[in-house]
Amino acid sequence: MAIGFALVYRVMRDAPPPALAQAVVLPPGAEVISALVSEGAINVTYRIGDTTSLTLFDRETGEPTRSVVLGQ
C-alpha cells in the first residue's frame, strides 16, 4: 500500500502543471472585483458603472465561455 502511494505521489509531483491562459480580455472600463481559477475555468467578477458581471473564461485559451449579469 505504501509503495503504491509513493508511486502515485511521485507521478503527481513530477507532472507538469496544467496550462493556464496568460491573459483574459475584459470590456473597456471594467473594474475587477475578484478573479480565481476553479474547475477548469478562470472566473472573473467585474463592475462597469453600476453593472456587476461574472464571466467564465477557458482556463487554457483565455476565451470567454459564459457570462452572467449579477446586478445593476
Tens of pLDDT along the chain (72 residues)? 455 455 555 655 655 666 666 778 888 998 999 888 887 788 999 999 999 999 999 888 888 999 999 876
Which three cell numbers mark 57? Answer: 473564461
Q: Is residue 6 assigned to a domain?
A: no
For residues 40 and 47, the answer to whether their CB atoms sit within 8 Å is no
So what's the pLDDT on residue 47?
93
pTM exceeding the 0.85 threshold for the entire prediction: no
So what's the pLDDT on residue 42?
84
For residues 54 and 64, the answer to whether their CB atoms sit within 8 Å is no
Q: Is residue 11 assigned to a domain?
A: no
Q: Is residue 13 assigned to a domain?
A: no
* Domains identified in the chain, total number: 1
Task: Say how many residues make up the chain.
Answer: 72
So what's the pLDDT on residue 52?
94
So what's the pLDDT on residue 54?
93
- Identify residue 38 by its one-letter amino acid code: S
Q: Is residue 4 assigned to a domain?
A: no
Residue span of the structural domain in which 66 resides: 19-71
